Amino acid sequence: MTVPIVIASRPRDKVHVPTVTLAHGGGGKAMKDLIDDVFVETFDNPLLAALDDQARPELAEFARLGDRVAFTTDSFVVDPLIFPGGDIGKLAVCGTVNDLAVGGAIPLYLSCGFIIEEGVSIDLLRRIARSMAAAAREAGVQIVTGDTKVVNKSACDKMFITTAGIGAIPPDLRLDVGRVRADDLVLVNGLLGDHGAAILAARGDLALEAPIASDCACLAGLIAALLTAAPDTRFIRDPTRGGIATVLNEIAQAARVAIEIEETATPLREEVRAFCEILGLDPLYLANEGKIVAVVPPEQAQQAIAAMREHPLGRAAGIVGRVTSGQPGRVTMQTILGGSRIVDMLVGEQMPRIC
């Protein structure tokens, strides 16, 4: 009697070891199982499921949405991997989406490359992947191609993620730092410094208990609302590493303008303010992962703020300063006392005060 050979479909949960090993990066069966189980299953889209050497979205899709392609890349090496408000995966997706969105692009597709230190827990990897999938779903993007490498112990710090993102820029949009001019107003969408403070607190070096969560979020929706309300917006950038001070200096230098901000108008969460006070850190230099700096013409500022405040990520939106015809490249701040001081580019890293 012949027994029919039933080829069962592959079981969902394919990886049965607790930690990542060099085999998982070796290109063989272990790696395929890891990719299927952790990534393909989780990111769940047909372009990725094909698992070709490249993803092949239709050109027509881009042409339908815009007349230019926006293309960006970023690497994520944050420590700790998981922190209040997010994790390295969420950060990777949001950071890449935001880099596209601040250029006015509709974000469409992401790639992600993982470099994983052997010994990392598979459950941790699954958790990070799920977090990325959730962030991607919320942002309306798909992760369609990727790469996985596993390195020896200590050859990298647990996990590094490199992404690239691609989107389409609608035809009439001309966001360009060169358009920034005197009398333009500088807006932000909320409280500053959350991410930087959250990461420092989460590292645990400080023996400080600080209930601060990262503001990590995808800003494409907020930016779309802003651009609808204020179509002549000159320029948008997200103040990540180096904080708002760095972005303002970049704008001032690139546009050859002066920018003046008001200390009373730079919104901070009470806990972040206290955190900075104790350590002697300047919140203007702390990273943000859910914030934008937008330069808008004065006559569109009110509707820009109103539109942002309608959006969950912009409830505390406001004007922080303005572009002036002062010394080009210079950023100054009116202190709460009424004095004035320069807000310079950060040199090296911020070091907490000694005494």
Partner 1 sequence: MKYVDEYRDPVKARALVHEIETLASSIKTSADRPIQIMEVCGGHTHSIFRYGIEGMLPKSVELVHGPGCPVCVLPMGRVDDCVAIAERPEVIFTTFGDAMRVPGSRKSLLQAKAEGADIRMVYSPMDALALARRNPTREVVFFGIGFETTIPSTALTVLQAEREGIKNFSVFCNHITIVPTIKAILDSPDLHLDGFLGPGHVSMVIGTAPYEFIARFYGKPMVVAGFEPLDILQSIWMVLKQIKESRSEIENQYARVVPTQGNARALRALARVYELREFFEWRGLGSIDHSGVKLRAAYARFDAERKFAVPNAKMADPKSCQCGEVLKGVIKPWQCKVFGTACTPETPLGALMVSSEGACAAYYQYGGVRGQRTEPVAEARAV
Q: Please give the residue ranges that form the binding site for partner 1 (CB under 8 A).
A: 205-207, 277, 280, 327, 330, 335-342, 344, 347-349, 351-355
Residue with tokens 């990725």: 48
Looking at the DSSP bridge assignments, the partners of residue 151 are: 117
Q: DSSP secondary structure string, 71-106? A: EEEEEE--SSSEETTEEHHHHHHHHHHHHHHTTT-E
**Residue 283 CB, nearest distance to partner 1 (Å)?**
12
**Residue 352 CB, nearest distance to partner 1 (Å)?**
6
**Residue 297 CB, nearest distance to partner 1 (Å)?**
29
Between residues 35 and 252, which has the closer beta carbon with respect to partner 1? 252
Looking at the DSSP bridge assignments, the partners of residue 331 are: 259
User: ∠ CA 7-9-10 to the nearest 5 degrees?
Assistant: 115
**Residue 332 CB, nearest distance to partner 1 (Å)?**
9
Between residues 1 and 351, which has the closer beta carbon with respect to partner 1? 351
**Residue 339 CB, nearest distance to partner 1 (Å)?**
2
**Residue 351 CB, nearest distance to partner 1 (Å)?**
3
| Number of neighbouring beta carbons within 10 Å of residue 120 | 21
Contacts of 103 (CB under 8 A, 6+ apart): 70, 169, 175, 236
Between residues 58 and 270, which has the closer beta carbon with respect to partner 1? 270
**Residue 209 CB, nearest distance to partner 1 (Å)?**
14
Between residues 15 and 281, which has the closer beta carbon with respect to partner 1? 281
CA dist., res. 305 & res. 226, Å (int): 8
Between residues 3 and 354, which has the closer beta carbon with respect to partner 1? 354
Between residues 25 and 196, which has the closer beta carbon with respect to partner 1? 196
Looking at the DSSP bridge assignments, the partners of residue 144 are: none
User: ∠ CA 332-333-334 to the nearest 5 degrees?
Assistant: 130
**Residue 308 CB, nearest distance to partner 1 (Å)?**
27
CA dist., res. 109 & res. 166, Å (int): 5
Q: What SS3 class is residue 64?
A: helix
Q: DSSP secondary structure string, 12-34? A: S----SSB--GGGGTTSHHHHHH
Between residues 197 and 218, which has the closer beta carbon with respect to partner 1? 197
User: Would you report the helix, strand and coil content of the chain in percent, each value rounded to 5?
Assistant: 35, 25, 40
CA dist., res. 232 & res. 222, Å (int): 16
Between residues 318 and 329, which has the closer beta carbon with respect to partner 1? 329
CA dist., res. 122 & res. 116, Å (int): 11
